[in-house]
Structure formats: C-alpha cells, structure tokens
Amino acid sequence: MSVELVFDYKCTLGEGPTWDHKRNLFYWVDILQHKLYRYNSTDQEVDVAVFDQPIGCVVPRESGDVVVALQNGFFFYDWERDELDPIEDPEHHLPKNRFNDGKCDPKGRFWAGTTDEYGVDGNGALYVLEQDLSVMKKVGNVGTSNGLAWSLDNQYMYFIDTPTKQVVRYNFDLESGAIDQPKTVIEFPEHCGFPDGMTIDQEGMLWIAGWSGYGVSRWNPYTGEQLDFIPVPAKNVTSCAFGGEDLSDLYITTARTGTSDEELEQYPHAGGVFRVETNVKGSRNFRFEG
C-alpha cells in the first residue's frame, strides 16, 4: 500500500479527518491556523472557514451543518452564514486549555477532549456532548486527549491519551454512554512514535497515526499485536479516517509543527492530507444527533 498526496495545504497542525458519507463531504482542520476545511467530492471543491480561535475537531450534524470543538468550547457552525452558535464551554476556568481530537459515538453523542499548551501535565479531560446539549466530563487527568473508536459490537470504547503511549479500552454502554473498567490493550512501541488519532475498520482492527512516527500502524486490540504499517512522507502523522464510496480509502492528516527545516526539506508535503487505498473497508463516522 502506497500513499498519495491529495490536499497540499501544508497545515501547521492538520487533524480531525472526518468523512460524511451521507453528503459526500470530507472535513479536516488546521488547529493552530484556526481553519476548517471542507472537500465536496461531488464537485471536487474545497472550502475553508477561519475562526478566531484554535479548532480541535469537527463532526457532521444529522440535521445539517456541523458541530465544532474550539478552544472555548462546543459550537454549532452554519457554513453558509459563517455563524457560530455557542453550546457550552466546560473549561472556561482553564484559559490555557483547548479542545483537541473528538468524534461521535454510534448513538450520536459527540466526544471530545482537551489539552493544555504542554500536553503532558494531566490538565486535560475527555467530555461528551449529549443529544440534549448537556456536557459531562468522562475522563480526567488527561495529558493530550486524542484518538477515539468504538468496537463494532458497541461493547467497548477505545481512547488514546498521547503521552501515555497506550490505547485504553473502556466497557461502553451504548444506551447511557457510561464507560468503566479501563484496561490498557496496546502499548505503543518507540519506533511508532506517539499514538495520536485513530479509527477502526470493519474487521475491528485499529488504525493509529504516529506523531513523530512517520506513518500509520494497524493493530489488533484483542491481542495487542501490530499487524501492519503504512509509511507516510511526514514526520508527524496526526490522524486518519476511512472515506470514499466503499470506505476503503484511508485519509491521513499530517503536521508541519515539530518538524525541523532539514526534515521539511526531506518531507516538503508535511502538513498535507494523504490517501491510501487499503485492502479492508473502514467503519463510517457517526453524526451528531442533537
């Protein structure tokens, strides 16, 4: 499997890839440049929205438009009017924190987590935005809240706190959204970098982007075994999501930050979005039901 560059936007911190299969739209963000990108696969146009604060992640909303997690909390965003409608900021008392990665669970709740400027001190948390627009803290003492995925049978939620270099599995109750009994199921090895964003395929295997890892690795969360590795021409690989008509294309975001001038000469397309055709099909991203 070889990767191809599809969007050469040279993002400072590209993140949050999301494929909306209902509307054939692909989203990703540049956290530090405050930008939200939207690619329409029908007309092959890319639109860009710019905010006044960092944007951590975006999810499509079932009723239309999107929900975003910015530095200052959760917002609805109306793309046509270019208007933000605030929902709630659960960390208004922590001005140095910002939202990072997030996605929706199979029931349509929006899970998103935070980090501070250093990302290692445990000042972040993982939150969930319920369909009734209430917000609840689910996990505390988080360094850098990152990858999320749910098992195909909805029995488990997988979560990455990047500096721990682990993937933790929680028992997950689909109806209530309750999580408990955390268990480490993957220990990320040195050569893969730090685990960042994550997705799951239709075989129940996890695909994990490696910050400072130069690629994406595929893992069996039941055995902890690494199954595959896809090299990406960028040092800091941030996240991945399946997309395309049959969900066999893996879209991969990368970053330029944390990369030296010499490394950028070697990897000039760092910060771009890459795509690789895999030999498996991925799971759909879920939409916010609120």
Whole-angstrom CA distances from 251 to 112, 179, 208, 231, 237 are 20, 29, 12, 13, 11
HEC secondary structure over the chain:
CCCEEEECCCCCEEEEEEEECCCCEEEEEECCCCEEEEEECCCCEEEEEECCCCEEEEEEECCCCEEEEECCEEEEEECCCCEEEEEECCCCCCCCCEEEEEEECCCCCEEEEEECCCCCCCCEEEEEECCCCCEEEEEEEECEEEEEEECCCCCEEEEEEHHHCEEEEEEECCCCCCEEEEEEEEECCHHHCEEEEEEEECCCCEEEEEECCCEEEEEECCCCEEEEEEECCCCEEEEEEEECCCCCEEEEEEECCCCCHHHHHHCCCCCCEEEEECCCCECCCCCECC
- Is 183 in contact with 212 (CB distance < 8 Å)? no
Q: Is 80 part of any known ligand binding site?
A: no
Q: Is 15 part of any known ligand binding site?
A: yes
| Residue 43 annotated among the catalytic residues of the structure | no
Of residues 20, 196, 201, 249, which has the active-site annotation?
A: 196
Q: Is 171 part of any known ligand binding site?
A: no
- Is 38 in contact with 19 (CB distance < 8 Å)? no
> In terms of residues, how long is the chain?
290
Catalytic residues: 196
- Known binding positions for substrate: 98, 100
- Known binding positions: 15, 98, 100, 146, 196
- Known binding positions for a divalent metal cation: 15, 146, 196
